[in-house]
Structure 1
Amino acid sequence: MKSSHALILVFLLLLLTWAGQVALGFFQVGRMEPILDEETNYPKPPAASGLAQTGARVFASEGCLECHSLSARGPTGSADLTRGWGPRRSVPRDYLFREPALIGLSRVGSDLSNIGLRVPETKDLMLHLYNPRQRNAKSNCPPHPWLFDTRLAGTGIENEALPLPSRDWQQLLPTYKAKALVAYLQSLRTDYSLPEAPLK
């Protein structure tokens, strides 16, 4: 009889601890709201476009979260800011409009929380998706050629075709998924100041 009371007590303590963590998280993050920028009258963090929100799902489905994090760590205990991975550390408010809020699983590749600042050009991001080693010979990122369609060049090259000099008679066009993924990557930027994480 005493062992069943002890077991019930342990179960209740575990349940209370879990409920406390959930409640604490809800009250700290669940009620968090964006901050209005006094100069521009836009919210901080800015909301991503619909294409970028679709790109977040492509990012997750392509497995990018397996190698990349989306959370720049602060100056103590990490070199993220010294590496130039962002102007400030990531904070919970940065993820308010990100649905789903992707954080990442590991750091095999670089942190991408500010890739929109580091690589703002669409063509550069597209080339990296098609063949990462074309831009960086030491990259361990896998190529994603299925995100592009190869078509005959015909009479002219389309504006969004990737520049591949070895294939003059063909053009490489990004699919909708590639455009969405690049829009998402370009939306990843924390170049705004927040009370809990000011820009330095």
Structure 2
Amino acid sequence: MGKPILKMKPTHALITVFLALLFAWAGQIALGYIQVGRLEPILNEDTNYTEPPVPSGFAQTGARVFASEGCLECHSLSVRGPVGSADLTRGWGPRRTVPRDYLFREPAWVGSSRIGPDLSNIGIRMADPNQLMLHLWNPRLRSPKSNCPPHPWLFDRKVAGPKIEKDALPIPAKDWKQTIPSYKAKALVAYLQSLHADYSLPEAPIK
């Protein structure tokens, strides 16, 4: 004869589930908030600026464009350390990314997909805004093997007049039209240029 099966009362079952969720919340959310919530920017005594830098309002607008265009589907925003990762060897950043780097980035996107390269330091690797604009228009103009899709809807096509627009992309056009970045394209480039961790932090110094 087998042992009798213990039946848990519905009230006890609810309490057990509640406690399990409470402990999970405490471990994942509350503890993380306590650890990260206490972080503050660091004063760089050489430049008298705080690190990480506060992105401009225009760059923050670009962050929303970044999200709406689905860039996180292909790119991460977190450089991993040297243990078990080749991110630093690939040249994706001068150091690993740490929680303090996200102080002024709301929401703090990390990303997990790496169909394309990590963009935590794209502002260093592609410091020229014209390069970024060309990449948005057609990535294969500069990188023929790029798997990044073009974003022509972020640009306006205007018939060339007697004067070339200052913002027009330097690309040949058979239809005599100029390619002009839209407000959203400019904001997105401002955001991408703001992504650079070229400063040391106590927990992640640049060696």
Shift of 1:167: 3.7
Q: How does 1:133-148 map onto structure 2 within 5 Å?
A: 133-148=140-155
Moved more, 162-171 or 182-191: 162-171
Q: How does 1:172-191 map onto structure 2 within 5 Å?
A: 172-191=179-198
Corresponding position of 2:81: 74
Corresponding position of 1:126: 133
Structure 2 counterpart of 1:107, from 87, 101, 114:
114
Shift of 1:168: 7.0
Structure 2 counterpart of 1:58, from 61, 65, 68:
65
- The superposition leaves residues 133-162 of structure 1 with CA deviations (integer Å, 9 ceiling, x where unpaired) of 111111111110000001111011122110
Higher CA-based Rg? 2
Moved more, 34-43 or 52-61: 34-43
- The superposition leaves residues 53-94 of structure 1 with CA deviations (integer Å, 9 ceiling, x where unpaired) of 000000000000000001011111111100000000000000
Distance 1:158 1:168 in 2: 16
Letter in 1 for 2:110: I
Shift of 1:169: 2.0
Distance 1:10 1:101 in 2: 30
- Percent of aligned positions with the same letter in both sequences? 73
Corresponding position of 1:89: 96
Distance 2:27 2:81 in 1: 27
Corresponding position of 1:33: 40
SS of residue paired to 2:104? coil
- The superposition leaves residues 91-140 of structure 1 with CA deviations (integer Å, 9 ceiling, x where unpaired) of 00001011221212300000000000000011110000000111111111
Shift of 1:22: 1.9
Shift of 1:6: 5.2
Corresponding position of 1:3: 8
Letter in 1 for 2:94: P
**RMSD (Å) for aligned C-alpha atoms:** 1.5
1:199 to 2:201 alignment: no
SS of residue paired to 2:199? coil
Structure 2 counterpart of 1:166, from 173, 181, 185:
173
Letter in 1 for 2:21: L
Letter in 1 for 2:187: A
Is the CA contact (8 Å cut-off) linking 1:71 and 1:90 kept in structure 2?
A: yes
Aligned length: 200
- The superposition leaves residues 3-59 of structure 1 with CA deviations (integer Å, 9 ceiling, x where unpaired) of 123552343133223223322111100121111111222110000111100000000
Moved more, 136-145 or 7-16: 7-16
Shift of 1:170: 1.5
Distance 1:56 1:14 in 2: 33
Is the CA contact (8 Å cut-off) linking 1:85 and 1:111 kept in structure 2?
A: yes
Extract unaligned runs of 5+ from structure 1: none
SS of residue paired to 2:64? helix
